[in-house]
Amino acid sequence: MSMKAYIAGVSKYLPTNTLTNEELVLDYPEWSVEKIFSKTGISSRHIAEGNETVSDMAVSACESLFDSYNVDKSNIDFILLCTQSPDHLLPTTACIVQHKLGLSTTCGALDFNLGCSGYVYGLSLAKGLIETGQAKNIILITSEQYSKYIADGDKSVRTLFGDAAAATLISARESATDLLGPFLFGTDGSGAENLIVPHGGSRFPITSESSVEQSDSSGNRRAPKNLYMNGGEIFNFTLKSVPESVNAILEKAEVKKNDLDYIVFHQANKFMLEQLRKMCKFEKERFLTSYQNYGNTVSSTIPLGIADAVDNKVFKSGDKILVLGFGVGYSWAGTIITWS
């Protein structure tokens, strides 16, 4: 037997502040509570307080993980932090988290900037570090605060996105078979401008014009420093890439669709997920959803769904779980988790 990477625990952190549909209609009187819910399937989302950062949320998720699974912090030898809303342009937020958690200075730490596919990418990175003998216990953190980029007057994204963090412990154990994998990745950067914060990087640094809001054809107001999403183009990309990716993963893993016990997709919104579920021909019982009280939390949606399933004792040892993330980039990634 050789050492294989496996998921040893998952915990989540949600900001205490929430934004409900009842609160949103006060800002958007042309919409009703029922209309927001029917379009998105989301009833509320957690929103970070003004002084709460991605590292704060990451630390809270990790502390929950340590407490829930009785983790000895001295055994953690690597942090992988996925975020698109870091504390600073530099330094690396993972380094800040290492210090706040009091982890050993022999611990590796890195950030990676991916959105909806990021959790699966992180599982792959952790598997590589563990199965090449570079680490034994890795914390994969997803921590996202898209709310910091969203204009109050832009209901096209404000109704969808929430903030959340999750921490996953990935450890080494002896096994004759893979417990994570195989993996599938995809990238199409031609869609980069369809989900973007235009200003704030080196291409378009922040200037006085970055805060000037304009209205689009649907009456949504946003500035170049704010998040923009072309929902129609994102939807079209998803309908094309996701069913193809599911088939490719199953073929690569030599697994049949009926051999899967559960499916956890990136939780974009109700309409998109229902379309994908039907196209992929997954029964509702196996197709887990968690967006209703969280919204789209970007890279945190998949681990939030897994954490909820663990809390509700849904998974049993040996279950095969297909996970697939897709969106901003365009980027997509999928794998099969064997629960243990």
Name the CA dihedral angle for 198, 203, 206, 209, rounded to a multiple of 10 degrees: -70
Among 21, 137, 226, 296, the active-site one is 296
Same domain, 257 and 139: no
Cα distances from 85 to residues 54, 152, 199, 247, in angstroms, run 7, 18, 13, 32
pLDDT above 90 (res 145) = yes
pLDDT at residue 1 is higher than 90: no
Residue 47: phi, psi to the nearest 5?
Answer: -125, 125
Q: For the chain, where are the E strands, in sequence order?
A: 2-13, 18-20, 44-46, 78-82, 108-112, 137-144, 164-175, 180-187, 195-196, 214-215, 221-222, 228-229, 262-265, 287-288, 320-327, 331-338
51 in active site: no
Across 297-321, average pLDDT: 97
Question: What is the average per-residue pLDDT within 231-243?
Answer: 96
- Domain boundary residue, one of 176, 199, 228: 176
Average pLDDT over residues 224-228: 97
The answer to whether residue 21 is catalytic is: no
Distance CA 69, CA 92 (A): 27
Task: Determine the Cα–Cα distance for residues 197 and 149; give it in Å rounded to an integer.
Answer: 7
Q: Which domain holds residue 266?
A: 181-338
Q: How far apart are CA 60 and CA 77, in angstroms?
A: 19
Q: Do 196 and 169 belong to one domain?
A: no
Residues 120 and 188 reside in one and the same domain: no
Domain tally, the chain: 2
Residue 211 belongs to domain with CATH number: 3.40.47.10
Structure-token pair, residue 72: 């000895």
Residues 44 and 167 in one domain: yes
99: annotated active-site residue? no
152 shares its domain with 238: no
User: Are 8 and 147 part of one and the same domain?
Assistant: yes
Residue 234, pLDDT above cutoff 90: yes
Kindly report, residue by residue over 164-195, the tens digit of the pLDDT: 999 999 999 999 899 999 999 999 999 999 99
Tell me, yes or no, whether 154 and 284 share the same domain: no
pLDDT value, residue 340: 87
> Do 314 and 218 fall within a single domain?
yes
> How large is the average pLDDT for residues 10-36?
95
Out of 116, 194, 226, 269, the active site residue is: 116
Q: Domain ends where: 176, 211, 246?
A: 176
Last residue of some domain: 176, 210, 238?
Answer: 176
Catalytic hit among 82, 266, 269, 280: 266
Residue 110: predicted pLDDT: 98
Return the SS3 of 52: coil
